[in-house]
Amino acid sequence: MNQTWTLTKRELRAYFDGPAAYVVLCVFLAITGWFFGNALFLQNVASLRSVFSIAPFIFLFFMPALTMASFAEERRAGTLELLLTLPIRDWQVILGKLLSVALLLLLAIALTFVYALTLAILGDLDLGGTVGGYLGLFLLGITYGAIGIWASSLTRNQIVAFILGFAIIFVLFLLDKITDFVPGQLGVIMQYLGADYHFQNLMRGVIDTRDILYYLSLTGFAFLLTTYTLAKRPE
């Protein structure tokens, strides 16, 4: 387990040694800040709802961007061979990488606590909705991250990894928004499979295990697919 953490630290350092982490954090804060300020000052709405509503859309781009290098770059540079011949299991390597993404995500989310704090000072903060929203944000982000990592393990080209990851996440993002076009029962299934639908539930302050389970199982599934891809030892 120590080694998994060592790998996580290396990945985090790689994010912060380059521009990737700063760009992502700044742009994330700028966009959410704009939506937050817009609602607060122009529409006089003291709510985090606008922040939470835009976040899944931002993650749609950011999570594939953050994870596109994770395995694709190792494959391209050949370092994957060294990494996978170290005395650790493949799943520990994937976990190490996923953890680093999770920590970066936590940091991004933690930085938006400023908005929540502002609201708590200015007026009444809907605690349930805030906690649910933040939980949903984290679960959504980590799910997208796990999918992005899988996409990255499929290719040695970062651009391809990004587009693949984006495409998969976009389908999940879209599923619950096109239910009007499909017949009844199928619509319900599609709604349940949609990533945003569960986030909307959590954002309302209803913390339901079904929604949490949805994200966790999707993350686990993506993790499993990555293990499977790596086991085939792509060149």
User: What single letter denotes the amino acid at residue 127?
Assistant: L
7 binds other proteins (CB under 8 A): yes
How far is the C-alpha of 217 from the C-alpha of 221, rounded, in Å?
A: 6
**Burial letters for 40-52: b for 16+ Cβ neighbours within 10 Å, e otherwise?**
beeeeebbbbbbb
The nearer residue to other proteins, 7 or 135, going by C-beta atoms, is 7
Q: Which of residues 50-89 bind other proteins (CB under 8 A)?
A: 77-82, 84-89
Rg over alpha carbons for the chain, rounded to the nearest Å, is: 18
**Rounded least distance, CB 64 to other proteins, Å:** 20
208 binds other proteins (CB under 8 A): no
The nearer residue to other proteins, 180 or 235, going by C-beta atoms, is 235
Taking CA atoms, 209 is separated from 132, 189, 216, in Å, by 12, 18, 10
**Burial letters for 53-92: b for 16+ Cβ neighbours within 10 Å, e otherwise?**
bebbebbbbbbbbbbbbbbbbbbeeeebeebeeeebebeb
The nearer residue to other proteins, 48 or 88, going by C-beta atoms, is 88
Judged by CB under 8 A, the residue of 10, 19, 117, 123 near other proteins is 10
Tokens representing 25 are 């954090």
The nearer residue to other proteins, 11 or 176, going by C-beta atoms, is 11
Q: Which of residues 18-47 bind other proteins (CB under 8 A)?
A: 18
The nearer residue to other proteins, 84 or 224, going by C-beta atoms, is 84
**Rounded least distance, CB 166 to other proteins, Å:** 24
The nearer residue to other proteins, 47 or 153, going by C-beta atoms, is 153
123 binds other proteins (CB under 8 A): no
Burial of 195 (0-12, 13-18, 19+ CB in 10 A): buried
3 binds other proteins (CB under 8 A): yes
Tokens representing 176 are 């619950």
**Rounded least distance, CB 87 to other proteins, Å:** 4
Of residues 6, 52, 20, 18, the one with CA closest to residue 204: 52
**Window of 1-9, 47-55, 135-143, 172-180 that interacts with other proteins by CB under 8 A:** 1-9
**Rounded least distance, CB 160 to other proteins, Å:** 20
**Window of 14-22, 120-128, 131-139, 196-204 that interacts with other proteins by CB under 8 A:** 14-22
Name the 3-class secondary structure at 125.
coil
**Residue ranges binding other proteins (CB under 8 A):** 2-3, 6-7, 10, 13-14, 17-18, 77-82, 84-89, 233, 235
